[in-house]
Every structure is written in C-alpha cells, then in structure tokens.
C-alpha cells in the first residue's frame, strides 16, 4: 500500500533477506528441470511478469559452478522483431567486461529467449532497501561503484570499436550486491532496449510501482546517456531517504504512476538537501544535479564520481558486507 505521507514505496518494513541458494539444491516444483544446456536448480526471486530467474549450471560443468539464467516470457515470441533485437542486444552484452557490470556469458531459446549471467551471491539493492534506508556513507559507496559502471558504458571503447552505450534501466532491482566482498554490480544491460518498452507503456504497466525513468524516456524523446544519470539520482534518493523524489504528497485519488509522471516532467519535488539534512552536502549536491531536466543535468558519470569521491568511505566494501550480514540475520529470526 502506498502511503500518503511521502513514502512512495510503501511502508518500510522488515522482510526476510534472500537465502543463499544451497549448492546442489533439489529442483523446486515450479521450476523446469532444464533450459537449453542448463540444469535448473531452483527458481530465484527477482523475476516478474516479463521474465523468470533461475539458479542453474551448465550440463558440462559441476553443480557448484552456479550461473543465473533469465528467461523472457514466451509471449514476446509473437513479435517477429523481438528475437533479432534480443540476440543483437545480448550479443553486445556478452562483450562487456567491467568489475561493476554483471557478465553475460550465453544466450539461447527454450520455451522463450533466455540469457545467462554470472551468479552473484547476494541480494539486490531492492531487497535490502525493503529493510529501510542506507546510512549516507553506504549510499556514497554504492553511488561511486555505479558511476564506475555507467562511465564504462557511456564511453566508446577503442579496443572493441563500440560507441557509447545507454543502460536504460538503472533501478534497485538491477543493482546486485555481493555478500562475500561487498561488490556492487549493475545487471540487465540491453534488456530494456530489447523489450522496447515505451514511456507510455511503463506508466500503464506501473500500477502503483515506482518509476525510475528520466523525463525524456517518459515522453519517448531522444534518449542519451544522461537518462541513466537521472535514474541513478532516483536510486540514490530512494536509498538515502526511502521515498521516490517525485512520489511524495500523492493525493489518495491519484494513481502513483500518473503522479510520478506529472511531477517528473514538471520537476516538482523537494531539494535533496531539504529531504536529507543528515547527508553530506556533496551527496545532496550530487543527487540534486542528477535530477535536473536534461539540459541542466550533470553531464557525465565522471562528474558525479568526482563529487562523491570527496566523501567516499575507505571501508565501503566492509560496511556493505556487514549490512548484508545483519539483514540476513534479521531474516532468520
């Protein structure tokens, strides 16, 4: 339920943290035994109406060598344009190698198009934020790591000859966190473009869920790399404050998707400094710059990185590992 006191994401509540999938776990009843060349171990949280997610291993590899397999709903096969577009985007995704990007290792079709990613042992940022907001130092750390990923995507790569790339779906669901080393990785590059969802479709399908798209994405205008930066600003606001910057103060009779749509286009919100007086001014300034209209928005991930680095904690990895461990412990109570 959406609260009308500004918490666009609903009540911040204690929920069970995702469990570590046991190695060699039995196949669950609602999961297929195999998809393509991969044996399915269990269904994972994080799927949705368009996708389903599984822990798996390749049939020629031991069961201890886990991968994550994401399959697209077979209804997309009805669109003759989807298959070639999916293969093009996922083939490109397979070439991307960066410490802050989840690696795509394979793709195929079996009951729907699917792609295979490295398995990250840990929750998504969305999972952890269901327990509440993050302390400012952790928000800074996560922001710095995401800036590394976006900087890599947004710049040409002379070695491979590729041009600048846009992620198009920077959300807490797509930020994966490692239990073991506190790593932060951005997942699902290319999927939003492959699915080819328009801003209008996003609003229609939102049904009260938060929206992380930039104004130019919502109106289906020409989209550049700054759209990812706007989404980053919404993610950092959510992590720091616990609300959607454009979802606060919603009238009870107003659908959340429409409310966020209108206020995003009008840039009607509190300032980051007013919303988070406890945060370092550098963090508030970084978020404020990210949430501006496209012409006035911070122009590059490097600029955000430079601002956040001024207050980045030296032990960000350790802080994140400890935070995940506490969430796991609370989930077991």
Mark the ranges of the chain whose per-residue pLDDT is less than 50.
Answer: 1-29, 198-200, 203-204, 206-209
* pLDDT recorded at residue 15: 32
* Same domain, residue pair 181 and 301: yes
* Same domain, residue pair 320 and 173: yes
* Same domain, residue pair 112 and 137: no
* Same domain, residue pair 112 and 142: no
The torsion angles phi and psi of 233, rounded to 5 degrees, stand at -60, -40
Q: Using the 3D structure, point to which of 101, 118, 135 is the last residue of a domain.
A: 118
Q: Which of 312, 330, 325, 318 is nearest to 136 (CA)?
A: 312
User: Using alpha carbons only, how large is the chain's radius of gyration in Å?
Assistant: 19
Say which residues have a Cβ less than 8 Å from residue 175's Cβ, sequence separation at least 6: 124, 125, 126, 142, 146, 184, 185, 186, 187, 235
Overall domain count for the chain:
2
Model confidence over 32-56: pLDDT tens digits?
899 999 999 999 987 777 899 999 9
Task: Yes or no: say if 13 and 130 are a contact pair by the CB < 8 Å rule.
Answer: yes
Q: Is residue 4 part of a domain?
A: no
* Same domain, residue pair 239 and 323: yes
pTM for the predicted model, two decimal places: 0.87
Q: Is residue 83 part of a domain?
A: yes
Q: Using the 3D structure, point to which of 84, 118, 152 is the last residue of a domain.
A: 118
Half-sphere exposure of 233 (CA within 13 A, CB side): 32
* Full residue range of the structural domain in which residue 193 is found: 125-332
* Same domain, residue pair 51 and 156: no
* Same domain, residue pair 268 and 133: yes
* Same domain, residue pair 172 and 230: yes
* Same domain, residue pair 202 and 325: yes
Q: The domain spanning residue 57 has which CATH number?
A: 3.30.200.20
Catalytic residue among 127, 169, 188, 228: 169
Q: Is residue 243 part of a domain?
A: yes
Active site residue 228: no
* Same domain, residue pair 87 and 143: no
């Amino acid at each position: 339920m959406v609260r009308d006191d500004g918490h666009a994401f609903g009540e911040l509540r204690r929920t069970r943290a995702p469990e570590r999938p046991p190695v060699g776990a039995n196949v669950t009843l609602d999961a297929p035994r195999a998809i393509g060349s991969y044996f399915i171990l269990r269904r994972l949280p994080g799927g949705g109406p368009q996708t389903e997610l599984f822990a798996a291993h390749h049939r020629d590899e031991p069961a201890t060598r886990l991968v994550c397999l994401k399959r697209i709903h077979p209804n997309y096969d009805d669109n003759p344009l989807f298959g070639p577009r999916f293969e093009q985007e996922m083939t490109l995704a397979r070439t991307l190698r960066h410490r802050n990007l989840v690696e795509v290792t394979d793709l195929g079709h079996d009951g729907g198009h699917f792609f295979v990613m490295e398995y990250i042992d840990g929750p998504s940022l969305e999972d952890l934020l269901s327990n509440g907001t993050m302390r400012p130092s952790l928000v800074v750390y996560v922001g710095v790591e995401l800036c590394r990923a976006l900087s890599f995507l947004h710049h040409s790569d002379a070695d491979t000859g590729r041009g600048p790339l846009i992620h198009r779906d920077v959300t807490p669901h797509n930020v994966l966190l490692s239990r073991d080393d506190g790593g932060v990785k951005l997942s699902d590059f290319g999927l939003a473009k492959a699915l080819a969802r328009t801003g209008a479709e996003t609003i229609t399908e939102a049904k009260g869920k938060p929206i992380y798209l930039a104004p130019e994405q919502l109106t289906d205008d020409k989209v550049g790399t700054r759209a990812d930066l706007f989404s980053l600003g919404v993610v950092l606001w959510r992590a720091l404050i616990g609300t959607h910057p454009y979802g606060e103060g919603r009238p009870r009779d107003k659908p959340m998707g429409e409310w966020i749509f209108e206020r995003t286009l009008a840039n009607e919100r509190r300032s980051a400094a007013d919303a988070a007086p406890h945060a370092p001014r550098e963090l508030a300034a970084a978020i404020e710059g990210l949430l501006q209209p496209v012409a006035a928005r911070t122009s590059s991930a490097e600029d955000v990185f430079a601002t956040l680095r001024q207050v980045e904690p030296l032990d960000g990895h350790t802080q994140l590992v400890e935070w995940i461990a506490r969430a796991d412990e609370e989930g077991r109570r």
